[in-house]
Amino acid sequence: MEEQPQIVQPKPRHRWLRLFLILVLVVVSLFTIGCYAAKNNFDEHMMEKAEGTADSFCTTKDEEAPEISLIGNGTISLKVGEKYEELGATAVDSCEEVEVVVSGAVDTNTAGTYKVTYSSMDSLQNTSKKERIVNVIPKYHGTIYLTFDDGPSQHTALLLDILKKYDIKATFFVTGYGDDAMIVREYNEGHAIGLHTASHDYSYVYQSTANFFADLYTVQNRVKNLTGYTSMLMRFPGGSSNTVSAKYDGGSGIMTKLVKEVTNKGFVFFDWNISSGDAGNAYTPNAVFENVVYAFKEYGDSIVLQHDSKGFSVEAVEKIIQFGLANGYEFKKLDMNSPTAHHRVNN
Ligand SMILES: [Zn+2]
């Protein structure tokens, strides 16, 4: 019996293996070609970069915007009428040289806050921006006379430090109390020293004109002995409009008499047109700050009443000064010719 040749069918497992091997071969070849092309591309790119020619990498891949750096401060303050000098900015891009475009106008004749914008764009239109704030502050807004009553106290040294830091002169209406050295410091540091009676005791000083002047001269002598300066500036305890004096004067109209007599004797007395409220409704530095700055007189004189006997009031002074300076006010001490802000006398 003739043997029939046997047809051997390849086993399915072998067929798959062969297909798989072919696939691997194709993938490896493609990868090799890809790497070679990429390397060539990279070499060309590096050569172009070195030669400074057009950069194909940057024109297709650069996604970063230029980085802008301002020359000078990000915020500039100047007074109305002063010149604004454009300091400009620089920009750096990872791929190419870029320019900075400046926009926004500053009107130095009009107070306000202005923005100057610096922008830079690369050839793929990646754009960045930076701003500079320019504050044009009023040349003159008014004059502020800071006045402090009832000291010296343990808070006076801090107050003097703050005033010194900003080179601002204030006025102290002093009493017979507190540290002599503080009065000396006030005087030596250029502040005005006024008189507020030695005892500040309403029941004594408003009992009679004789009592009042005896007490006034006591504090005047204290200041003179410490500084050599005879002060003729004064402020009545409670101000000239106080009504508490009517309790002690036996119905004699003491304030009317005193106002006339102090003037006749050559004193100049001062009241105030802004009360910080530190002897009334204000108990925090912030409340004092708000009472004072919201009441500043525009284009006029602000005579501010504070007490250096109150620590929280002293703590408000730095912010008050900063606000005043930033808004075009000038600070002055009182002298014999200053505005007096007299109140209406009530008795
Ligand atoms: Zn007082």
Q: What are phi and psi of 251, to 5 degrees?
A: 70, 25
Q: Considering the domain boundaries, does residue 312 fall inside one? A: yes
181 and 118, same structural domain?
Answer: no
Q: What is the CA(200)–ligand 1 centre distance, in A?
A: 7
Position with higher pLDDT, 10 vs 16: 16
Gap between the Cα atoms of 143 and 160, Å rounded: 20
Average of per-residue pLDDT values in the chain: 88
Count of domains observed in the chain: 2
Q: Are 313 and 307 in contact (CB under 8 A)?
A: yes
How many angstroms is it from 87 CA to the middle of ligand 1? 51
Alpha helices in the chain (DSSP H): 12-51, 56-61, 156-165, 180-188, 202-205, 209-227, 254-264, 285-293, 311-315, 317-326
Query: Rounded to the nearest whole angstrom, what is the distance from the C-alpha of residue 269 to the centroid of ligand 1?
Result: 13
Indicate which CATH number applies to the domain containing 238. 3.20.20.370
Same domain (yes/no): 246, 122: no
Q: Is the peptide bond before 10 cis (omega within 30 degrees of 0)?
A: no
Residue 244 DSSP label:
G
* Cβ contacts of 208 within 8 Å, gap of 6 or more: 249, 252, 254
The tens digit of pLDDT for each residue in 225-250 reads: 999 999 999 999 999 999 999 999 98
pLDDT of 1 higher than 50? no
pLDDT digits (tens, 9 = 90+) for 106-115: 999 888 899 9
Whether residue 103 is found in the same domain as residue 205: no
Q: Is residue 80 part of a domain?
A: yes
Cα dihedral 313, 315, 321, 323 in deg (nearest 10)? -90
Per the structure, the complete domain to which residue 191 belongs is given by: 142-331
Q: Is the pLDDT of residue 45 over 80?
A: no
**Does 325 share its domain with 217?**
yes
Taking the centre of ligand 1 as the mean of its atom positions, its distance from the CA of residue 164, in whole angstroms, is 24
- The CATH number for 127's domain is 2.60.40.10
Residue 184, pLDDT above cutoff 50:
yes
Distance 149 CA to ligand 1 centre (A): 5
Same domain, 102 and 151: no
Whether 337 maps to a domain, the answer reads no
Establish if 29 belongs to a structural domain. Answer: no
219 and 129 within one domain: no
CB 250 within 8 A of CB 211: no
My answer on whether 224 and 323 are in the same domain is yes
Same domain for 287 and 152: yes
Query: Are residues 164 and 96 part of one domain?
Result: no
**Shared domain check, 239 and 102:** no
CA angle 109–114–120, rounded 5-degree value: 130
Is 88 found in the same domain as 160? no
Alpha-carbon radius of gyration of the chain:
41
pLDDT at 262: 98
pTM of the model: 0.66
Q: How far apart are the CA of 201 and the centre of ligand 1, in A?
A: 9
Sheet holding 112-121, edge to edge: 75-79, 127-137, 112-121, 101-103
Q: What is the pLDDT of residues 116-150, one digit of tens each?
A: 999 999 988 999 999 999 988 877 779 999 999 99
